Homo-oligomer: A and B are copies of this chain.
Amino acid sequence: KVIEEINVGLNRCGVEPGKPAVELAEKISKSKGLIFEGVLGFEGYAIWIKEFKEREKACKECYRKLIETVKEIEKAGINVNTVGAGGTGSFNIAAEYPGINEIQPGHYAIMSASHLMIEGIPFKPALTILTTIISKPTETRAVIDGGVKTFSLMLGNPIVKDIEGVTVSALHVEHGILKLSSNCSRNLSVGDKIEFIPAYSETAINLFDKVYVVKGDEVIATWKVEARGRVD
């Protein structure tokens, strides 16, 4: 079974909408051993637009290209069973768009700090990374035992959970530098544990072998990150 990717504007992979997509669908459906299952489009550049209305508009422009192409493929006599689209920033827009019958949000179960920055996402971040303060050289600077190898650099620095007045000012390889404001809501010392919400969970979770599932103060399960290292 083959799903054909259509380039709806991200300009990454995918065949162009319209004629090239129809021709590829015909080629697939005529190929021995292959079954043409459907199409997908990914509006990856549009899902990060902060304002919901603007995001909706940009996403719908992508879906329009996708659905028009679906209709052309069907006109060529080929069944299109699956029509996939959407990301974590657009799952609700994609889900309501006529003709889309599968959504593909990757983050929604754990979310990221970067999703807090865009409007209209009803989920809270579930994934946090626990670090320890290993140094507090001045009143305004503390150093944690987490850096690029802990959080990744994708979409910026992590944000601290449940403490006011603390920001990450830099990530080094194995160190993170915290800037402490004078009205910091916790008096932080060496040895203190702090939780961070990574800017982009997908590239952070991949840096760990396991995830601890916590309910209240209790660890109720330990999950292996099965896909870790599966980039080869």
Contact = CB atoms under 8 A, between A and B. Distances in A.
Interface of A: 7, 11-16, 44, 134-135, 137, 141, 143, 145-146, 148-150, 152-154, 172-175, 177, 202-203, 206-209, 228-229, 231-232
Contact of A231 (B16, B149, B203, B232): B149
B148 A154 contact: yes
A148 B203 contact: yes
Contacts of A145: 231
A22 to B, nearest CB: 16
Contact of A173 (B134, B153, B202): B202
Query: How many identical subunits does the complex contain?
Result: 2
A154 B174 CA distance: 12
B150 A152 contact: no
Contacts of A15: 137
A149 B166 CA distance: 28
B203 A172 contact: no
Contacts of A207: 206-207, 229, 231
Nearest to A170: B12
A209 to B, nearest CB: 5
27 contacts: A11-B137, A11-B177, A12-B135, A12-B143, A12-B177, A13-B135, A13-B137, A13-B143, A13-B175, A14-B135, A14-B137, A15-B137, A44-B172, A148-B154, A148-B203, A149-B203, A149-B231, A150-B231, A153-B153, A153-B154, A173-B202, A174-B231, A206-B207, A207-B207, A208-B231, A208-B232, A209-B229
Given A14-B135, A154-B173, 14 more contacts: A11-B141, A12-B143, A12-B175, A12-B177, A13-B134, A16-B137, A44-B172, A149-B231, A153-B154, A206-B207, A207-B229, A208-B231, A208-B232, A209-B229
Contacts of A16: 137
